[in-house]
Amino acid sequence: MFTLSKSEIFRDKRDFNALHSRGRSFANHALVLLVVHSERYNGKVGFAAGKKLGGAVVRNRVKRLMREAYRLNKNSLRRDCGMILVGRKFLVNAKFKDAEKAFLDLCKRAKLFNS
């Protein structure tokens, strides 16, 4: 079973800022994906949902959708990069399959799948 441990997740604001300033951005209607290709990040991921999306309950649901989409597909992704997923308004009322499809689309565009 795939799991997502705490050591795989960015939690420090400095890490988020570093990825945000140096990362390459890919976006669609549901998500924004920021990627930095560096062995330093070793496959770590961060999740963000801004206050424009709604209250804490809504933001936590959006982050939960993004986490699950990542968790189920992480073994097919490259491990030599770090990424941040930022939720957009579409995910507030979206089903999981829509979130996963948007995530996979961005990963394909960012060439994050193992060869």
* pLDDT tens, position by position, 28-41: 999 999 999 988 88
In a domain, 114, yes or no: no
In a domain, 95, yes or no: yes
**pLDDT at residue 2 tops 70:** no
Q: Are 47 and 85 in contact (CB under 8 A)?
A: yes
CATH number at residue 88: 3.30.230.10
In a domain, 115, yes or no: no
Query: What's this model's pTM, rounded to 2 decimal places?
Result: 0.93
Cα distances (angstroms) measured from residue 62 to each of 11, 18, 75: 17, 23, 22
**pLDDT at residue 66 tops 80:** yes
- Domain that includes residue 14, residue range: 10-109
Q: Backbone phi, then psi, for 46, in 5-degree steps? A: -130, 155
Average pLDDT value over all residues in the chain: 93
* Torsion, CA 85, CA 38, CA 80, CA 104, rounded to 10: 30
Question: What per-residue confidence (pLDDT) applies to 57?
Answer: 97
How do residues 38-59 score in pLDDT, each as one tens digit? 888 888 999 999 999 999 999 9
Q: Work out how many domains the chain is built from and give that number.
A: 1
In a domain, 27, yes or no: yes
**pLDDT at residue 8 tops 80:** yes
Question: What per-residue confidence (pLDDT) applies to 92?
Answer: 97
In a domain, 32, yes or no: yes
Q: Are 47 and 67 in contact (CB under 8 A)?
A: yes
In a domain, 88, yes or no: yes
